[in-house]
Amino acid sequence: MGLIGKIVDGLGKLLGGVDELVTSDEERLKVKQQVAEVISPLLAQAQEYEVRLLEAKSRLIEAEMKSDSFLAKNWRPFTMVVLASYIVVSTIVGADIPDRMWDVFYLGFGGYIVGRSVEKTAGTVAAAAMKAKDGK
80 and 93 fall within a common domain: yes
pTM of this structure: 0.45
82 and 102 fall within a common domain: yes
Q: Please give the residue range of the domain that contains residue 99.
A: 68-136
90 and 126 fall within a common domain: yes
Q: CA-CA distance, 45 to 13, in Å (whole number)?
A: 20
53 and 114 fall within a common domain: no
Q: CA-CA distance, 37 to 57, in Å (whole number)?
A: 31
Q: Which of 65-69, 93-97, 120-124, 126-130 has the highest mean pLDDT?
A: 93-97
pLDDT score recorded for residue 93: 94
Confidence category of residue 106, pLDDT binned at 50, 70, 90: confident
Number of structural domains in the chain: 2
Q: pLDDT tens-digit profile of 5-54?
A: 777 777 777 777 766 777 778 887 888 788 778 778 888 888 888 888 88
78 and 134 fall within a common domain: yes
Lowest mean pLDDT, pick from 32-46, 64-78, 90-104, 122-136: 122-136
Mean pLDDT of 79-96: 90
57 and 98 fall within a common domain: no
48 and 76 fall within a common domain: no
Could you give the residue ranges of the DSSP H alpha helices within 22-98?
25-66, 70-93
12 and 75 fall within a common domain: no
72 and 104 fall within a common domain: yes
pLDDT score recorded for residue 3: 67
Distances (CA, A) of 50 to 2, 31, 54, 121: 8, 28, 6, 28
